[in-house]
Structure 1
Amino acid sequence: MTLAHIDSHPSYEQQLDRQPSAETAGRRLSAVPDGAEARGFVLYVGVDEAKAAAAGTDLGALVQALKALAADLVPSSETYAAVALAPEGVGGRDVDVVRLALQEPAALARHRSVDDEEADELDRAHSGVVIDISRKRVVLDNEIAQLTYKEFELLQFLVLREGRTVGRSELIDSLWSAADEDGVPNERTIDVHVRRLRSKLGRYEDIVRTVRGVGYRFDRHADVSIRHASTPSPDLF
């Protein structure tokens, strides 16, 4: 369960007005396409530490309370929480900032600072490497690199920590979970993932550098352009 937005409480009369009829209730609650099944839900909470403190709590306590509520209502439920990071003082409603920071598709579509056509023109005009975090892609000499989701995640993790060497164990802990289809790699097999990523980067493979005995580091070259998302990528809460 990611952080959730909780609207202000409506009046009793408003709640009655909002109650669906018996005819439409089932249809609204089962709005799942044929051939698919509901496996959970995502809620967004728009609240910063100052507002939480003013209410006598903090974000960590709020997360734990929501997790405990889910466990109390459905003991077998599994939860996951992430904190939304945004530039200090950024404007807009808290919940909209949270949705954008957590890369919610509808929020990204509304707030994209550069439209797709303009971004494509910028990519085609750039000879070298374009690492487009906002659109989850890498362009090499005007050609889109065919990276897998996990390969892009690996590259993005290093890019967002530019200048710092990241150990193999940190990569594993941050990017893999026991629920992954291929399971969790060990520190040896992480090297295989890096080699596959490098092979797809072609002549730019050395932007992912090995620091012997420590791990890996992203090295920015003069011909590397990074297009960040409008807000920082979230880390695990």
Structure 2
Amino acid sequence: MSNTLLLDRPAPTRHLQAVPPLSDAQRATPAAPAAAAPAPAAPAPAAPAAPGHNLPAGTSPRGFALYVGIDELKAAASGVSLGVLVDALRRTIAELAPAAETYATVALAPAGAGGRDVDVVRLALHEPSAVARTKDEPEDEDRAADGVVVDISRKRVLIDGESAAFTFKEFELLQYLVLREGRTIERTELVASLWQATDDDAPGERTIDVHVRRLRAKLGRYEDIVRTVRGVGYRFDRHADVAIRYGHGAPSPDRF
């Protein structure tokens, strides 16, 4: 067999089919455009992610909590406030999942509490894994024999070392004032925040004074820790006879 490449071999003859000439009518009619290629099929939507496989037996996800660590000063430096951030998150959730229900609460912590903001928030709102990493605080009842101890974590009040017989509402009333130290709280705010509109025992703006009088009576000689601001409402100021125990964080009745 020869390895010579033949370059001068004549090309094969092609047989062309004769095309009849166009008539005058055919020349006047524009040619139809070529059919467009079919558009590629849209990708199928991704299947929803399957729920986690490490859930405790007999449980299913019902929602989630997003802990946001930022104080009012940092929010203001960004040109927003905590309320603005909450509203923005709620609008986003409403757009993505209209059926979702939301609830927001502000986390309060002792002034000057160290650590990262988000860790302080998780601890204040009793996030389980954050609480699990902390140790129980030693009891200091013996050191606080005199004065008033408002124990936020255990929902109780100690007066001169003895547990006071506060009702739930009386404690909530005192706690509400204590957690807003230095701020005058109007009667209308106390009623709206501590009682539901449907509560049978919900007081009016003036009958809230009766609840405050009962609270002061149980405080005894320390009754002046709840101060009256005439024509406005009530206020708690820093008091040498009062100690506040926050435990693993201060629960807050504030809602946006």
TM-score (norm 1): 0.63
1:97 and 1:61 map into 2 onto residues whose CA distance is 23
Residue by residue over 1:83-117, the C-alpha shift from the partner in whole angstroms, topping out at 9 and shown as x without a partner, is 335678954694x54332224567446435x53xx
**Contact 1:63 1:81 survives alignment (8 Å):** no
Task: Give 2:213's match in structure 1, choosing from 195, 218, 221.
Answer: 195
Give the aligned partner of residue 5 of structure 2.
none
Residue by residue over 1:192-217, the C-alpha shift from the partner in whole angstroms, topping out at 9 and shown as x without a partner, is 22122122222222221222222112
Give the aligned partner of residue 59 of structure 2.
28
- SS of 2:142's equivalent in the other structure is helix
Q: CA deviation at 1:188?
A: 1.6
> Residues 89 and 166 of structure 1: is their aligned pair in 2 closer, same or farther, counting only changes over 3 Å?
closer
What are the ranges of 5 or more consecutive residues in structure 2 without an aligned counterpart? 1-45, 79-83
Residue by residue over 1:31-67, the C-alpha shift from the partner in whole angstroms, topping out at 9 and shown as x without a partner, is xxxxxxxxxx66310334689x8xxx94431133335
1:132 and 1:188 map into 2 onto residues whose CA distance is 28
Task: Give 2:99's match in structure 1, choosing from 73, 85, 97.
Answer: 73
> Quick one: which amino acid aligns to residue 63 of structure 1?
R
Give the aligned partner of residue 61 of structure 1.
88
> Residues 85 and 223 of structure 1: is their aligned pair in 2 closer, same or farther, counting only changes over 3 Å?
closer
> Residues 59 and 166 of structure 1: is their aligned pair in 2 closer, same or farther, counting only changes over 3 Å?
closer
1:89 and 1:132 map into 2 onto residues whose CA distance is 18
> Quick one: which amino acid aligns to residue 123 of structure 2?
L
Q: Equivalent residues in 2 for 1:148-167 (5 A)? A: 148-167=167-186
Give the aligned partner of residue 132 of structure 1.
151
> Residues 83 and 192 of structure 1: is their aligned pair in 2 closer, same or farther, counting only changes over 3 Å?
same
> Quick one: which amino acid aligns to residue 185 of structure 1?
P
Q: CA deviation at 1:170?
A: 1.9
Q: CA deviation at 1:183?
A: 5.4
Q: CA deviation at 1:174?
A: 2.5
Task: Give 1:100's match in structure 2, choosing from 112, 123, 132.
Answer: 123
> Residues 16 and 134 of structure 1: is their aligned pair in 2 closer, same or farther, counting only changes over 3 Å?
closer
Q: CA deviation at 1:125?
A: 2.8
**Contact 1:131 1:225 survives alignment (8 Å):** yes
Give the aligned partner of residue 45 of structure 1.
66
2:229 and 2:205 map into 1 onto residues whose CA distance is 14
Give the aligned partner of residue 169 of structure 1.
188
2:50 and 2:234 map into 1 onto residues whose CA distance is 58
> Residues 108 and 201 of structure 1: is their aligned pair in 2 closer, same or farther, counting only changes over 3 Å?
farther
- SS of 1:73's equivalent in the other structure is coil
Give the aligned partner of residue 83 of structure 1.
106
RMSD: 3.9
Task: Give 2:227's match in structure 1, choosing from 204, 209, 213.
Answer: 209
**What number of residue pairs does the alignment pair up?**
196
More helix by share: 1
TM-score (norm 2): 0.59
